[in-house]
């Protein structure tokens, strides 16, 4: 098991996968390492669901922190191609939060849910002693739709083209430069560009837009383990090879500089807001155009190839890419929070 962040595949296969409660016929897609969502069959209707921790970072400003926390929860349903429609949310709040502070968080979540067409159906809210930010609860997102509309996590096929929105490490760089910018030996211009990456961390609307625009065969949001983790998880799930062109991978302003200072690999660092999208060749132009109409940066970074063995792999400029053992942004955050110099 990793020291920080998500469990690794070995831990999942040993401890989680063999112990999943009752075996029910209505579970169409159950827990799988690296897969963002599960699916239930309810009398022929698909219920897509995903659960995530709820993270609020007050230093981002409560409104922006609340939007970020909500988008992270809803994104794991959105990458199924079915728009999120319902939300169950539980707040386990630190006792120092004021009524006004919580009201700001909740009104922001309410407004964003209303804009996305998401109804809050149940929840829990309480203060408890000995709790602290950022981890303040958890939430389950749901989406109701047709089974045929689901973009399966293992749906990538030979010949598909691979698109990437935004690029590596936008979340890590945006957060670390905003929270700890005064500790980074970078120019004001670079820090401003890096802090602007927080505007790239919202992916729900991009995922829904991409799925509606063209024949998307698989999507994965670039969370813990970064771009390298997302690519390897998608390729392994489908049993195919991803052939990636490193030069085609976009790098947003400020990302390279912050990662260099912190000595972290941008391809291994979490990047909520970025999506890897596998698209049938006939739909590439339509998906790109739809995303660009939303002013979302998007690039074609590679293609999908068949593998005779059925073992999924990723190559970058011909060299094999491995799944990162640990997301380096966790250690960088801990060091900067302790006041250590990069």
Residues 124-133: tens digit of each pLDDT: 999 999 999 9
Residue 3 reports pLDDT greater than 80 = no
Measure the CA–CA gap between 276 and 232, rounded to whole angstroms: 11
Q: Taking residues 55-84, report their average pLDDT.
A: 96
State the Cα torsion 190-195-199-203 to the nearest 10°. Answer: 100
Residues 171-202: tens digit of each pLDDT: 999 999 999 999 999 999 999 999 999 999 99
- pLDDT for res 153: 79
Residues 234-292: tens digit of each pLDDT: 999 899 999 999 999 999 999 999 999 999 999 999 999 999 999 999 999 999 999 99
Residue 214: pLDDT band with limits 50, 70, 90: confident
* DSSP tag of 148: G
Which of 265, 279, 195 lies closest to 226, judged by CA? 265
Residue 46: pLDDT band with limits 50, 70, 90: very high
Q: Taking residues 93-112, report their average pLDDT.
A: 97
Residues 80-89: tens digit of each pLDDT: 999 999 999 9
Measure the CA–CA gap between 142 and 272, rounded to whole angstroms: 19
- pLDDT for res 36: 85
Average pLDDT of the chain, as a whole number: 94
For the chain, helix (H) and strand (E) counts, in that order, are 10, 13
Cα Rg of the chain (Å, integer): 20
């Amino acid at each position: 098991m990793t020291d920080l962040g998500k469990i690794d595949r070995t831990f999942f296969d040993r401890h989680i996968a063999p112990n999943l409660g009752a075996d029910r016929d209505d579970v169409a897609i159950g827990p799988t390492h690296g897969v963002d969502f599960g699916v239930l069959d309810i009398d022929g209707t698909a219920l897509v669901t995903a659960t995530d921790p709820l993270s609020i970072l007050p230093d981002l400003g409560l409104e922006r922190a609340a939007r970020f926390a909500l988008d992270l929860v809803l994104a794991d349903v959105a990458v199924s191609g079915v728009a999120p429609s319902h939300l169950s949310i539980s707040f386990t709040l630190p006792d120092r939060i004021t009524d006004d502070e919580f009201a700001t968080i909740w009104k922001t979540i309410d407004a964003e849910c209303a804009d996305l067409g998401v109804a809050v159906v149940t929840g829990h809210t309480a203060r408890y002693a000995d709790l602290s930010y950022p981890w303040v609860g958890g939430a389950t997102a749901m989406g109701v739709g047709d089974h045929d509309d689901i973009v399966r996590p293992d749906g990538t096929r030979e010949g598909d083209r691979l698109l990437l929105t935004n690029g590596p490490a936008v979340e890590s760089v945006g957060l670390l430069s905003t929270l700890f910018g005064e500790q980074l030996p970078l120019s004001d211009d670079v820090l401003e560009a890096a802090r602007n990456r927080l505007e790239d961390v919202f992916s729900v609307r991009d995922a829904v837009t991409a799925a509606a625009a063209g024949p998307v065969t698989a999507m994965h949001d670039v969370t813990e383990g970064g771009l390298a983790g997302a690519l390897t998880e998608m390729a392994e799930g489908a049993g195919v090879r991803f052939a990636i062109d490193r030069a085609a991978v976009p790098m947003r302003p400020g990302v390279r500089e912050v990662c260099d200072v912190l000595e972290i690999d941008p391809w291994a660092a979490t990047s909520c807001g970025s999506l890897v999208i596998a698209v049938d060749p006939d739909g590439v132009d339509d998906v790109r155009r739809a995303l660009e109409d939303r002013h979302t940066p998007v690039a074609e970074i590679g293609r999908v190839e068949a593998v005779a063995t059925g073992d999924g792999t990723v190559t970058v400029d011909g060299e094999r890419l491995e799944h990162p053992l640990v997301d380096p942004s966790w250690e960088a955050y801990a060091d900067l929070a302790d006041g250590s110099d990069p």
